Amino acid sequence: MKRGPLAMLLLLPAFAASAGERLSCPDLAAAVQVGNCPGEAELRYTFDGFCSDNRRIYQHDAALCADYEEYRKAKNVAQWESADGAFSAYVSCDATPARLHLARAVRIAVSRRGQISRVACDYGEGLVFAHRSRLQCRVEGDGDCQDGRRRCVASCD
């Protein structure tokens, strides 16, 4: 039995993945919410548990615990994804989906931590959809997406 063709077929996905990919900032008109928003009772419960940890106070890590409204602002979020699932973000549950769907990318940036590249598409007002990859990514152009003729694009190899 010949194993050469079978081995080549099994290695094809590895070769395709190494060819690289181009990522463009997603159109949020098709973004979908994939996580649930916490209820008010759940937020109160987690605030009490999170902020009752004395270690936070002694290590000066209690900024969110000074005010319930600040804690609520930081924790009242749900996960959203682009239509293809490549990009995701935690979005405030106080934001209206209609407003989110109208947002347009203003900037794209790439950062690296260890072996992971993070391609971040900034839509303004703290809304950032990100894609993480083990590939080496870089922004094509200057990363400014406000000019409608240019697209926010990153290449990953």
Give the CA count within 13 Å in the CB-facing half-sphere of 5: 2
Query: Do the beta carbons of residue 110 and residue 117 sit within 8 Å?
Result: yes
pLDDT, one tens digit per residue, over 118-156 is 999 999 999 999 999 999 999 998 899 877 546 789 999
pLDDT, one tens digit per residue, over 31-83 is 999 999 999 999 999 999 888 877 666 776 677 888 899 999 999 999 999 99
Q: What is the DSSP letter of 144?
A: B
Query: Do the beta carbons of residue 76 and residue 38 sit within 8 Å?
Result: yes
Torsion angle, CA of 19/120/74/43, rounded to 10 degrees?
-30
Distance CA(92)–CA(126), nearest Å, equals 10
Asked if residue 1 has pLDDT above 80, the reply is: no
Distance CA(117)–CA(132), nearest Å, equals 6
Query: Do the beta carbons of residue 130 and residue 119 sit within 8 Å?
Result: yes
Q: What is the pTM of this model?
A: 0.79
| pLDDT recorded at residue 67 | 86
Distance CA(24)–CA(32), nearest Å, equals 17
| pLDDT recorded at residue 91 | 96
